[in-house]
Amino acid sequence: MTSVTNSPNALAPFPFPDHTQLPESNGTFVKNWQEHPQSILLTDSITPILKQLNPKGEYCIGQDLGIYWRLTDPPEKGAEAPDWFYVPNVPFLLNGQTRRSYVLWREFIAPLIVLEFVSGDGSEERDKTPLKGKFWIYEQVIRPPFYGIYETSKASLEVYHLIEGQYQVLPANERGHYPIVPLGVELGLWQGKYQNVELSWLRWWDLQGNLLLNGNERAEQESQRADRLAAQLRSLGVEPEA
């Protein structure tokens, strides 16, 4: 068994394990039924933006995917699994395989944004205990420039921005959204129905305040546009093509 490194800065024994050699799950159940549809909604709606930013498809989105940051025994104790995160400038596949985890000591590129969906009282997501607390690990080791904490039960959102090595609270703009400028988007809360459930959902907008639509919404918008065009043609005495 590989020996444990007690410090995130300690050198681990060679060879370093990769995503195929590390556990892809710690075996726990999803604590919040909203987690999976919420993650799908975030991914679906921002995918067109990410394709524009990464025309070669060089990016990774993780949904409950482990980010390994140190070697431990058992290995999964050395990972954090954010509910949603995005990493630019990394290949989608590794040696032709779908990622089972994201291993920092193999890739060195931090996620641009990490999001946690709170199931409890939020203390776990704000824990600054060295080497243990999520907040400390994200701030001091994984170091995503943006860290969001979404409390589903309270319909509240906090976003932190990494400035000079420490997380500072990112203020909301006049729309109540949080600008994630490198992505050209805003993050905020949207009250509405998704997957037949009326809730406050975490969603993206562009920097002009336009909601980024998911696939179903885009299809509905296109259908309405086609219906309006057909009505205009009929009003001119032209029968639209089937």
Q: What is the pLDDT of residue 23?
A: 59
Q: Is the pLDDT of residue 212 over 90?
A: yes
Question: Assign residue 60 a region: left if phi > 0, alpha if psi is -120 to 50, beta otherwise?
Answer: beta
What's the whole-number mean pLDDT along residues 215-241? 76
**Two tokens, residue 26:** 């710690």
Q: Is the pLDDT of residue 4 over 50?
A: no
What's the whole-number mean pLDDT along residues 93-116? 92
CA dihedral 37, 76, 9, 90 (to 10 degrees): -40
Helix (H, G, I), strand (E, B) or coil at 136: helix
Q: Is the pLDDT of residue 10 over 70?
A: no
Instruction: Say how far apart CA 90 and CA 108 lie, in whole Å.
Output: 10
Q: What is the pLDDT of residue 34?
A: 84
**Two tokens, residue 78:** 């050395």
Work out the percent of the chain whose per-residue pLDDT is above 70: 84
How sure is the predictor about 7, in pLDDT bands with cuts at 50, 70 and 90? Answer: very low
List alpha helices for the chain, DSSP H.
35-53, 104-107, 134-137, 215-235
Burial class (CB in 10 A: 0-12, 13-18, 19+), 8: middle
**Two tokens, residue 77:** 């104790």
**Two tokens, residue 84:** 């949603």
What's the whole-number mean pLDDT along residues 118-142? 96
What's the whole-number mean pLDDT along residues 113-118? 97
**What is the Cα 114 distance to its own chain's centre?**
5
Work out the percent of the chain whose per-residue pLDDT is above 90: 66
Instruction: Say how far apart CA 82 and CA 42 lie, in whole Å.
Output: 14
What's the whole-number mean pLDDT along residues 161-186? 98
Q: What is the pLDDT of residue 233?
A: 63
Which residue, 211, 214, 241, is CA-closest to 226? Answer: 241
Instruction: Say how far apart CA 235 and CA 220 lie, in whole Å.
Output: 23
Is the pTM value of this prediction over 0.85? no
What's the whole-number mean pLDDT along residues 10-15? 50
Amino acid at 191: Q
Instruction: Say how far apart CA 235 and CA 46 lie, in whole Å.
Output: 37
What's the whole-number mean pLDDT along residues 196-216? 95
Contact 54, 107 (CB under 8 A): no
**What is the per-residue DSSP string for 56-125?**
T--EEEESS--EE-S--SSGGGGEE--SEEEEESS-SEETTEE-S-EEHHHH-PPPSEEEEEESSSSTTT
